[in-house]
Amino acid sequence: MLLSAPFDDWWHRAYGLDVKILSPPHVVLGLGMMSLQLGALLLVLPKQNRTRGEHARLFGVLYAYAAGLLVVVLATLVMEHAGFPNHMHSARFYMATAAVFPFMLVASARASSLKWGATTTAAFYMAIVLAMLWILEFFPAQSRLAPVFNPATHMVPPPFPLLLIIPGVLIDLLLRRVGTDRDWRLAVAIGLGFVAVMLVVHWFWAEFMLSPAARNGVFGADRWDYSARLGPWRYQYWNLDGGASGTFKWGRAGNVVDAFSPVLFARGLGIAALIATLSSRLGLWWGTWLSELKR
């Protein structure tokens, strides 16, 4: 994390503003953050596994909190494809979320002493992001790095968190129903169920978040940083799957395609289901190892 700061300063001086979230200095920063959080997770987990009774429950909550922090960082890293409601009518959104979230939620549920391990982890993720959404805007800030297309007077909070608590409930229910001796069957069920639940929930959630009803202090919609050239693209769906018919400029770059192909979207969902299945299987393997960790 400390090394990323001078690296990022040099990167900006050499190349200007970042076009992507995943610039090399940001990747170094993200890896540092995840290393610290993973260390905290590995410190508290053996205590949970060695303890019984109410203390085990306390360590289970601390473990879910550490896992929730990891989910926050992962959600930030995939924000370019799965962070805004504008993404949620694109198959790319479901492929991006399928790659990272089933792994963490399933591993958390398998290793946790809590009855609702995945749900609690997702709840901590949502609570942390909501705290940033509701608090950061109270701090004055001024953009000092040109070009400034959208003058900001306060810190710009992240978008409203993904509703991961709902697939978290599904994961917890499936883990209890299927058991621990049929992991491949369980991974397929979780993968298909995760994509299906994410589709049903976020398809309609996106429509609400792009409506005037969400442009308030509770949901925080339509808030953009200094690099955004404001325009009608704010209320459109981005990167649909049927071929480009228009572009927009959000800061330095960015494409939006407003054509929609049901066939290509369905194919993308199939790929997302396969990715979610593999992600879930890796999560089950890692969670089983974590559940046996004693020191």
**pLDDT digit string (tens) for 239-279?**
776 544 333 334 434 444 456 788 889 999 999 999 999 99
Structurally, how many domains does the chain consist of?
1
**What's the pLDDT score for residue 249?**
39
At 154 the three-state DSSP class reads strand
Q: Is the pLDDT of residue 125 over 90?
A: yes
What distances in angstroms separate CA 63 from CA 19, 67, 107, 166, 194, one per listed residue? 35, 6, 11, 20, 22
Which of the given ranges, 24-28, 50-54, 99-103, has the highest pLDDT on average? 99-103
Average pLDDT over residues 185-191: 95
CATH number of the CATH domain containing 118: 1.20.1450
Q: Which residues contact 238 (CB under 8 A, 6 or more apart)?
A: 84, 86, 87, 90, 254, 255, 256, 257
Average pLDDT, the chain: 87
Beta bridge partners of 140: 154
pLDDT at 258: 54
Q: Quick: pLDDT tens for 62-88.
A: 999 999 999 999 999 888 888 899 999
Distance CA 223, CA 141 (A): 14
Q: What percent of the chain has pLDDT over 90?
A: 49
Q: How confident is the model at residue 182 (pLDDT cuts 50, 70, 90)?
A: confident
Residues with Cβ within 8 Å of residue 55, at least 6 apart in sequence: none
Q: Encode pLDDT of 111-124 as tens digits.
A: 998 999 999 999 99
- C-beta separation of 189 from 179 below 8 A: no
Q: State yes or no: pLDDT of 294 exceeds 70.
A: yes
Question: In terms of residue numbers, what domain contains 166?
Answer: 4-291
Average pLDDT over residues 21-47: 87
Q: What average pLDDT does range 11-15 have in this prediction? A: 81
The pLDDT assigned to 206 comes to 95
At residue 252, the pLDDT reads 38
Residue 202 binned pLDDT confidence (cut-offs 50, 70, 90):
very high
